[in-house]
Amino acid sequence: MRVTTALLVACLTVLAGCAGMGLGNGGTQPTGQATHTTTDTEENVSAAFVADGNRTTVTLEVANSPDERSHGLMYRRSLPRNHGMLFVFERASTQSFWMKNTLIPLDIVFVSANGTVINIAHADPQPNASDSELRSYTSEAPAKYVVEMRQGFADRKGIEPGAKLVFEESRPTVEAS
């Protein structure tokens, strides 16, 4: 029995690591990039949030592969004004994020496949929390996109459920595995 239990625990540990600790969204654990600066090889998109007739243009780093989504904005100490990260998923589904190793307070904006803002979570870092103590932030409906911006962005710009996210160029897609 001990060998079976030990083997089961080992297998679950490996699977949890491969699935990004499995918050039910294909391994997407929020945010991260270690002391990161944008390079020319990374994909950025220009987009705008449209709310109450006001348009706010933002630059978004695209996280469209499992590794990029898993790492997100981890370890970053700052984000430039109107700059954030766009998480792109293969299909719209319930998305769940946490703030593991994320140092910047964030607005997590959950967006449907048609660009409508579903809900916004205001997430604070939890520097000394264990994985089991980390709060989870979840979309209230299926989301294809999640945008992370510095906390307070949504309130300052009047972005709330029903606002639109409009891509200036073509919509980013999921990177082929």
pLDDT tens digit string along 28-65? 444 333 333 333 346 899 999 999 999 999 999 999 89
pTM beyond 0.85: the answer is: no
Half-sphere exposure of 94 (CA within 13 A, CB side): 8
Give the Cα-Cα-Cα angle 57, 98, 76 (nearest 5 degrees).
60
- With left for phi above 0 and alpha for psi between -120 and 50, is residue 31 left, alpha or beta? left
Residue 42 is predicted with a pLDDT of 65
pLDDT in tens, 141-156: 999 999 999 999 999 9
Residue 22 is predicted with a pLDDT of 34
Mean pLDDT of the chain: 81
Helices (H), 1-114: 2-18, 66-71
- With left for phi above 0 and alpha for psi between -120 and 50, is residue 160 left, alpha or beta? beta
Residue 14: pLDDT band with limits 50, 70, 90: very low
Residue 169 is predicted with a pLDDT of 78
Residue 172 is predicted with a pLDDT of 72
Asked if the model's pLDDT at residue 175 lies above 50, the reply is: yes
What dotted CATH number matches 2-167?
A: 2.60.120.1140
Query: What distance in Å separates the CA atoms of residue 70 and residue 83, rounded to the nearest whole number?
Result: 19
